Structure 1
Amino acid sequence: MTRTSSDEFADRRRSSRTWTPWQAIVGFGLVSLTADMLYEGMRAMAGPFLGTLGASALTVGLVTGAGEGIALVLRLVTGPWADRSHRHWRLTVVGYAMTAVCVPLLAVTPFLGGAGLAVASLLILLERTGKAVRSPAKSALLARMAQPTGRGRGFAVHKALDQVGAFSGPLLLAGVAALTGLLWPGFALLAIPGALSLVLLAVLRRRVPGLADPDPEEQAPVSAQRRAAARAVGRDLPRTFHRFSLAAAFATAGLMTFGVMAYRFVEDGLLSPAAIPLVYALGMAVAGVAALATGDAFDRWGPRTLVVVPPLVAVVPLLVFANAVGLVLLGIGIWGVANGIQDSSVKAYVADLVPAGRRATAYGVFAAVQGIGALAGGALAGALITDHVAVLASVITLLQVGSLALLWPTTRRRSTSPG
């Protein structure tokens, strides 16, 4: 059939509106930036905010702990669901919408009387559910976008933009609290970046129409047998992927959460509570810069660049528990570097290790295994940080030796074949 000039004009117009891979990656990064302002701001202030509503320390621990558990473990369901249904885009939008709605609604809870604490707790849990709904699908979409640019660089740029939101959100809430003496106005203000994240998502969907198409790297439909295996937490994924997940879990177990370190800083009188958000912002800024640097190195020299993570993690407790502020800040900087690599180049390598049609499942399994490491590491640090810092540092070092032992043979080559 002969094409008319109007058809050709329409094709050219659509082509001019379609974003390049780098434009798509930056667009997705801006979505993450605005959304991170919400949920990192919420995570930074959740404990004090629940306390103002009458929560006990036990209630705060249960709500925040359950929220993190939901955000990680539920990905074992949402990852395979995205791969089976091919609804990666829809799950991404739903997940971000849950964050954009739930966090600003926390501003209403102080005015609900006795029901305020229950509603706030529910909103926090729903926001963490939204994180679980979108994360595997979002990472799979980002892996597709970044294939032409180099996945290390693509994930690195996305992570760097993500980190801008991760430190600006908590600082925004801290600033509003300092000016007003109240926590809820900060949550209300976060409705602006929440709405912006959804607008950016709509623009991204329109400018990158191929997101709704099947992944061109997927070679064949997933068989019924493979779908059954997928429901069994990714048993059909390559053995190399599972070894890499375990190595990452060991590293994560040693990479203490900022909350644990901040508790020690304040208890020892080394830093004031008012300085804690600034120190956290320092770590997040360093993480963003580290993601950019290591992403480029990953694309140039391959996954062997990831072997720097265990030594970095092993050094952190030796510095952050020193009695000099300068050493503490250096330790936070190294902690930020390790976090930046963990959340960028590590995810890029996951995409290389598994078949294209199984990426969302793989990201769900990877997050769950990493989450188990984080929970174990948090319990370990909480038990030893007060009176047994030397023991804690020794255990973290042993964990990193185990991580390196798994990581070294795993990163010998890039592979997408079971192995």
Structure 2
Amino acid sequence: MAQEHSFMEPVISLSGGSRRKAYAIILLFGIVSLFGDMIYEGARGVAGPYIYLLGGSAFVVAFVAGFGEFVGYGLRLVSGYVADSTRHYWALTFMGYGMLIAVPFLALAGSWEIAAVLYIIERMGKGIRAPAKDAILSNVTAPVGRGWGFAIHEAMDQVGAIAGPLIFSAAFLVQGDYRGGFVLLLIPFVLMMAALFITRMKAPVPEEMEVASGISGKKLSTRALVPYGVFTALTMAGFAVFPLIAFHYSSAGIVPYEQIPLFYAIAMGADAVVALIAGRLYDRHGLIILGAAPVISLVIPFFAFAGSYSSALPAALLWGSVMGIQETILRAAVADYTAVSKRGLAYGIFNTVYGASWFGGSLILGWAYGVSITLVIGFMAVMQCIALPVFFYARSVMEKGEGGVAV
């Protein structure tokens, strides 16, 4: 069966056995991420209230959340470099996922200080595993098309993101406190680690799957990928985090408080569906599909920050759709345009740019919200208008292969 990487070279035929093996590993890795998301997304929603109940102030909650994200994204640069230098991609992946044990241990936290340390450990684990995990996925998705492979993984990831908070909420309703929910998350942790061990057994040397696939797209120098990084920074800086949108829904009385989690679940559902569509289209048509992200993002603020309930649903659907495109194509393209030997570092740099830009943009939007809704809408729209031409320039550079070949 012919590969669908029409924009990559060469196009070769792969055996059905190679594709079946690739699908099996992608699905196993998807199960790992599904359970992982159950754990940390289940805990994330109650992080603030839990620390507060243990005696932490609002400043402590904000500091723990901000510092945890800072450490998590900062570690990506280090772990990506270490992954490429040592070739121990699996070891870093196991270490990072293993640190999710900090979440069930929150049930034993007797003070906000201990809870804060455990939350930060969980974020550190994310930073350690992310580049290595993405590098492994980039290897095993090559036989089926990276866009499609990353899309399947993202869709399964979002199932966990939806299920986690729902499971935690159910546990809270039954037992009346957070500790029971944290203890319950020990079950997906055990299942996650078991699935990870099986995945490791199926693909002990994932690079071999990419080599066997014969996929050899343009492997560019770091300089050639700079415009892609600039585009990523611009579009993420102008993309509001969902908590800000939810805050607007609540503070403006647009959506009843109890319905806001439902709108987030709708966004996550849209993310999963659009990821599958975008991934398949990327494999067929190339990087041009990513151009839909800033176009849709340009429309989002006019729905998200409007004053009517009827605009909230399309805002959630559009927001989730952009997330699906970003999480699939942005990651797949990094692999398609970088050499295997530099893949971990490439993902480390990319993830840092992605997260830091989103965080920086969120700070600006948070300040702007206190000044004027019009300023929020204007900033988001302007950033996407700037990002769009940068995207077309980056695409031109990448697909022409300017800047030399990475070694």
Q: TM-score, normalised by structure 2?
A: 0.89
Specify whether residues 190 and 345 from structure 1 end up closer, same or farther in structure 2 by C-alpha distance, changes over 3 A only: same
Deviation at 1:136, TM superposition (A): 0.1
Distance 2:168 2:403 in 1: 46
Identify the residue that residue 405 of structure 1 maps to in structure 2.
Answer: 389
Aligned to 1:297, the other structure's residue is in SS state helix
Kindly indicate whether residue 285 of structure 2 is the aligned counterpart of residue 285 of structure 1: no
List aligned pairs for 1:94-113, cutoff 5 A: 94-99=95-100, 101-109=101-109, 112=110
For 1:338, give the aligned amino acid. V
Kindly indicate whether residue 230 of structure 2 is the aligned counterpart of residue 246 of structure 1: yes
For 2:94, give the aligned amino acid. V
List aligned pairs for 1:105-144, cutoff 5 A: 105-109=105-109, 112=110, 116-144=111-139
Kindly indicate whether residue 298 of structure 2 is the aligned counterpart of residue 314 of structure 1: yes
Identify the residue that residue 325 of structure 2 maps to in structure 1.
Answer: 341
Kindly indicate whether residue 5 of structure 2 is the aligned counterpart of residue 21 of structure 1: no
List aligned pairs for 1:157-168, cutoff 5 A: 157-168=152-163
Contact 1:246 1:370 in 2 (8 A): no
Contact 2:301 2:381 in 1 (8 A): no
- Alpha-carbon displacement from aligned partner over 1:313-334 (angstroms, at most 9, x marks no partner): 1111110112222211110110
Identify the residue that residue 46 of structure 1 maps to in structure 2.
Answer: 47
Deviation at 1:132, TM superposition (A): 0.5
Distance 1:254 1:199 in 2: 39
Deviation at 1:214, TM superposition (A): 9.7
Contact 1:352 1:415 in 2 (8 A): no
Contact 2:250 2:256 in 1 (8 A): yes
Aligned to 2:118, the other structure's residue is in SS state helix
Identify the residue that residue 11 of structure 1 maps to in structure 2.
Answer: none
Picking from 289, 305, 316, the partner of 2:289 is: 305
Aligned to 1:344, the other structure's residue is in SS state helix
Deviation at 1:238, TM superposition (A): 2.6
Contact 2:229 2:350 in 1 (8 A): yes
Structure 1 vs Structure 2: percent identity of aligned residues?
34
For 1:361, give the aligned amino acid. L
- Alpha-carbon displacement from aligned partner over 1:23-50 (angstroms, at most 9, x marks no partner): 1111101100000111111222211111
Contact 2:140 2:207 in 1 (8 A): no
Aligned to 1:341, the other structure's residue is in SS state helix
Aligned to 2:293, the other structure's residue is in SS state helix
Kindly indicate whether residue 235 of structure 2 is the aligned counterpart of residue 257 of structure 1: no
Specify whether residues 275 and 317 from structure 1 end up closer, same or farther in structure 2 by C-alpha distance, changes over 3 A only: same
Identify the residue that residue 344 of structure 2 maps to in structure 1.
Answer: 360
Distance 2:95 2:344 in 1: 16
Deviation at 1:209, TM superposition (A): 3.0
Picking from 267, 274, 278, the partner of 1:294 is: 278
Count of aligned residue pairs for this structure pair: 382
Kindly indicate whether residue 193 of structure 2 is the aligned counterpart of residue 192 of structure 1: no
Distance 1:124 1:19 in 2: 38
Aligned to 2:177, the other structure's residue is in SS state coil
For 1:179, give the aligned amino acid. V
Identify the residue that residue 362 of structure 2 maps to in structure 1.
Answer: 378
For 2:108, give the aligned amino acid. V
Q: TM-score, normalised by structure 1?
A: 0.87
Aligned to 2:310, the other structure's residue is in SS state helix
Distance 1:120 1:88 in 2: 29
Distance 1:179 1:23 in 2: 37
Picking from 374, 377, 380, the partner of 1:393 is: 377
- Alpha-carbon displacement from aligned partner over 1:207-261 (angstroms, at most 9, x marks no partner): 22333869738x9xxxxxxxxxxxxxxxx94323221112111111111111111
Identify the residue that residue 170 of structure 2 maps to in structure 1.
Answer: 175
Picking from 301, 320, 332, the partner of 2:316 is: 332
For 2:134, give the aligned amino acid. S
Kindly indicate whether residue 51 of structure 2 is the aligned counterpart of residue 56 of structure 1: no
For 1:314, give the aligned amino acid. L
Please give the root-mean-square deviation of Cα atoms over the aligned residues, in Å: 2.2
Structure whose CA Rg is larger: 1
